[in-house]
Each structure stands twice: as structure tokens, then as C-alpha cells.
Amino acid sequence: MDAPRRIQLHADDNVAIVVNAGGLPAGTEFEDGLVLTERVPQGHKVALEDIAAGAPVIRYGEMIGAADRDLPRGSWIDEFKIRVPAPPALDALPLATRVPQPLPPLEGFSFDGYRNADGTVGTRNVLGISTSVQCVAGTVDVVVRLIRERLLPKYPNVDDVVGLNHLYGCGVAINAPAAVIPIRSLQNLALNPNFGGEIMVIGLGCEKLLPERLLPQGVNGDGSVLRMQDERFQGFEAMIEEILVMADNRLAQLNTRKRQTCPASDLVVGTQCGGSDSFSGVTANPAVGFCSDLLVRAGATVMFSEVTEVRDAVHLLTPRCATPDVARALIREMDWYDRYLQSGGADRAANPSPGNKTGGLANVVEKAMGSIAKSGTTAIVDVLAPGERVRRRGLIFAATPASDFVCGTMQVASGITLQVFTTGRGTPYGLSMVPVIKMATRKELSARWHDLIDIDAGRIASGEKTVEEVGWELFQLILDTASGRVRPWSDRWGLYNALAVFNPAPVT
């Protein structure tokens, strides 16, 4: 068996996690004399000292809970032995009190992207078909198939066609306050830089969300919107033929797009984690955080999200906000989500999942400490409400649910052109609109899922690579992927999840 290996992240921590695959048996003795009093699974916590009942359990230098009973040195600490603390109060947080100084600029990095008229830069050249109501989803599926068969072969510079199908539009309380979220998300999805500004909308005709509302201000609906209920159509085939004509016009425009060298500052990269384990905060997320710093130093935009996985670490983030106003915006999003969960009779403890716990994460506090590592160390310069479009460069908090599919969809609406996704347990996640680079937290997962995982951060836990080395690898992989030189596994398989627009408003 390999020598027993554990990782203690912070000098103040009174727990460490076991690295060895399969965990370690009772009686295992570490080099420094620590002996396990019971079996500890991989990724799970071992007490480094005697922790008395009620005393804090500390990981990441932060209290992740209070000991539920006496925890002797060498014992296994699972979710049942820690009591979850209350989340940080939102009314007394420090605002912009420890704003990080800018890091030295990183010059000379570029990628080959598609520059748009509005100044944004895409990483792909895709025809997006927007929809105003779920009723047309089946029609859009038919049309997408026909476009692939009949039209795409004529336009070699266009990568793909994507239907923006969703579950909104009909049977919704369109004027409810929270309806602003799904509506602006659908509006902004169609504006994603990868669609090149060639917007077309398929609607039904009787839906509450009028198709015209999905067009940007100033764009004429003529030739951009098709309603299936229009009386001029005799039969389904006539509608399909007209949609194909609309698509053909847009494909001809998209086909004129050419990749050109763009500075790395034109990248908008989203980060999220899914199927996390206790290595997420040790290997993959810190490597993503280091890479986030590199991207910000290069002038690019980086988003982190997932409100319930940030909530318990918010006291570490508000001091990092560039101004008190940005910090207040962050608090506003946390408060909104607290009330949203409360209205549904839930709280943040609904996260983590059973798989997270199997992977060693005892509770949402421990998960949050690992999750925010993705944000790196730079100042948070802006906060976006769910589905708002990005409006400045640098590190941004884009408020979204932590659900992988909702977070992904909302980040695409906010304008990401590439996403980095970290996973410990493994998930076959992918987005059809933007490339997704999947990074595993453990070597075992990278080996088993060798044709799904793009980059292995498990080499950090094994000591083969440093966080910085993997962070640089990721940075280079982002530039290559954004340039179309490397296709991540989800694109090679065509492995894509459906859009999942966040709708906190009532359904009627």
C-alpha cells in the first residue's frame, strides 16, 4: 500500500483529510506518529488533536462546525459528529475593508476568437434559435435537425446550431416581481457572444412572454420573429420552410465570421463546481483560483457563482469587494436567496448532496470554504443579479443557484464564452453554447473517466504538481480551447445538458 498521506490546509486546522484511494484502516500510523483510531474513507477528515464536545472543528482556518461529542485525536469526523453553525449575519459584515492590491499585469497572451460588432468576442460560431415559449420546443428540435442536414454543410465556418429550449413563457405569472429573472435571462441568452448577434425567435402566438420581448431594444421584429399561430401558415411544413429561410439568412452572415487574434482580456470565463468532494477545495478549486488570478491579471473577466455555496463564506468575500457598493450588492444577493429559500420552507442546509457527503464534505460550511477557492485572490469588482449581462472586466460574482444546470444556463445568459467545471464525484456535464473544460479533483476519477475529464488536478494531492503548475496548465488550455485548437471531451462526444433557466416566480 502507498504510504499514508493526509492534507492539512491551514496551520490553524485541527483536522486533515485522508488522500489515499480507498481510505485508510484503523491503526494506520502516519510518519509523525498520528494513529487512526478507526477507518477513515478517502477525502474524509481525521482529528489531529483531541477536540472536546462543543469545541470548533477548524478547516481552511475557519470554523466549519462544533464538535457534537468528544472527538479524540485520530478519529474519523463525519457529518454526524459536527453541528452546523449559523450562517454569518448579513447586517454586520465588513465592506471593502481588505481590498486586494492589483496583481502585476500579465501581458502577451491571446486567443483566436470571433469579434462581434458590439465589441464582445465569441469562442465559437453558433446559430442560436431563441424561443419565447416551451410549446415550440419540439418544433425547434425538428428545425435544428433539418438545419444540420440541409443547411450547415453549405456553411463550413459555422460550428453548430443550437435551439434555446426552456420551460418558460406560458402558464407563468408574467408580472410577478421575480419574473424579471427568467425574462432577462432569456433575453440575454440570445445575446451570448458565441451567437454573433444573429438573433431569431420562434414563438407560438398566444404565450404571455411576447416573442418581441426577446429581441434587444431597437431590433425590428420583422424577419426576426416567427409565430406558429399566424394565419398565413397553411400547415406545419410551411412554418418549417419559413424558419429554414430565416436560418439560412443568418447562417450566411455567420459564415463570414473568421477567427482573429484577440487579447486574452476579451475572454469571459465562468467557473463552477458540481459533484464536489473534500478535495475540491484542496486541488481543483485552488488551481482554478490561481488561473482566475492569471486571467484577471491578463485583463479578462472571470465569474464565480452558486449562492448557497458562497453564503457561509460571505464574511471572507465582502472585505474583498472593490467598493462598499459592490459589497452591499453581494449582501443583497445573499439576502434575496435567504428569503427565496425561506419562502420554500428550506435553508442552505439543503446543500450539500449525499454524494458530496460520501466525498467527505460534512456540511455546507465546509463546502463553501472549498467552493470560494475558485475565486482566487483578486478584488471582486462587480456583482450581477441572476441573468444580468456582464458589464465590466475582472473578477465578478454572478448570483445563481448552485445547481449545475441552472448555474451554467445563467452564466451563459450573463455572457460567458467558456466555462471551467470542477468535479470530485464526477458528472458528465456539458453546454452546447460554450465549451466546458472539466477538471477532476482526484487522480482516481481522472483515470476512470479518462474520456470525460479534460484536466486532472488530483496530481496536486499526490504531490506530483503544485496548484500553480496546474493553474498555468488550465490557463493555457483555456486559451487553446477558446481558439478552437482543443475540443474538450463534452464537445467531442456532443454531450450537452438542457438549458435550465432560473424561474423563482409563480407558475399559474
Binding residues for Ca ion, rule: CB under 5 A, are 272, 274, 402, 404, 407
Of 179 and 310, which has the nearer Cβ to Ca ion? Answer: 310
- Please, what is the minimum distance in Å from the beta carbon of residue 421 to Ca ion? 8
Of 310 and 478, which has the nearer Cβ to Ca ion? Answer: 310
- Please, what is the minimum distance in Å from the beta carbon of residue 97 to Ca ion? 29
Residue that the C-alpha cell 404571455 belongs to? 208
- Please, what is the minimum distance in Å from the beta carbon of residue 166 to Ca ion? 19
Q: Say how far apart CA 415 and CA 202 lie, in whole Å.
A: 21
Q: Say how far apart CA 326 and CA 330 lie, in whole Å.
A: 6
Of 45 and 367, which has the nearer Cβ to Ca ion? Answer: 367
Is residue 472 within 8 Å of residue 294, measured between CB atoms?
A: yes
Distances (CA, A) of 9 to 118, 217, 279, 281, 405: 44, 50, 11, 9, 30
Of 132 and 272, which has the nearer Cβ to Ca ion? Answer: 272
351 CB-near residues (< 8 Å, 6+ apart): 308, 309, 364, 367, 402
User: C-alpha cell of 492?
Assistant: 467531442
Q: Say how far apart CA 34 and CA 19 lie, in whole Å.
A: 15
- Please, what is the minimum distance in Å from the beta carbon of residue 285 to Ca ion? 12
Residue that the C-alpha cell 408574467 belongs to? 174
- Please, what is the minimum distance in Å from the beta carbon of residue 461 to Ca ion? 21
- Please, what is the minimum distance in Å from the beta carbon of residue 313 to Ca ion? 15
User: C-alpha cell of 282?
Assistant: 484542496
Q: What share of the chain is helix, strand, coil (3-state, %, to 5)?
A: 35, 20, 45
- Please, what is the minimum distance in Å from the beta carbon of residue 424 to Ca ion? 12
Of 203 and 386, which has the nearer Cβ to Ca ion? Answer: 386
Q: Say how far apart CA 433 and CA 161 lie, in whole Å.
A: 9
Q: Say how far apart CA 323 and CA 335 lie, in whole Å.
A: 19
Strand ranges (E), 13-157: 15-18, 45-47, 56-59, 62-67, 76-77, 82-83, 110-115, 121-122, 126-131
- Please, what is the minimum distance in Å from the beta carbon of residue 276 to Ca ion? 8
Q: Say how far apart CA 341 and CA 348 lie, in whole Å.
A: 7
Angle among Cα 179, 185, 190 to the nearest 5 degrees reads 140
- Please, what is the minimum distance in Å from the beta carbon of residue 336 to Ca ion? 18
The DSSP code for 247 is: H
390 CB-near residues (< 8 Å, 6+ apart): 268, 301, 303, 382, 384, 396, 398, 414, 415, 416
Of 404 and 456, which has the nearer Cβ to Ca ion? Answer: 404
- Please, what is the minimum distance in Å from the beta carbon of residue 317 to Ca ion? 17
Is residue 443 within 8 Å of residue 284, measured between CB atoms?
A: no
- Please, what is the minimum distance in Å from the beta carbon of residue 494 to Ca ion? 22
- Please, what is the minimum distance in Å from the beta carbon of residue 355 to Ca ion? 12
Of 144 and 282, which has the nearer Cβ to Ca ion? Answer: 282
The DSSP code for 14 is: S
Of 321 and 407, which has the nearer Cβ to Ca ion? Answer: 407
Of 17 and 307, which has the nearer Cβ to Ca ion? Answer: 307
Of 172 and 402, which has the nearer Cβ to Ca ion? Answer: 402
Of 192 and 400, which has the nearer Cβ to Ca ion? Answer: 400
Of 48 and 420, which has the nearer Cβ to Ca ion? Answer: 420
Q: Output b/e per residue, 471-497; b: 16+ Cβ within 10 A.
A: bbbbbebbbbbbbbebebbbbeeebbb
Termini Cα distance of the chain: 60
The alpha carbon of residue 409 and the mean position of all alpha carbons in its chain are separated, in whole angstroms, by: 9
3-state secondary structure of 253: helix
The DSSP code for 10 is: S
Is residue 247 within 8 Å of residue 150, measured between CB atoms?
A: no
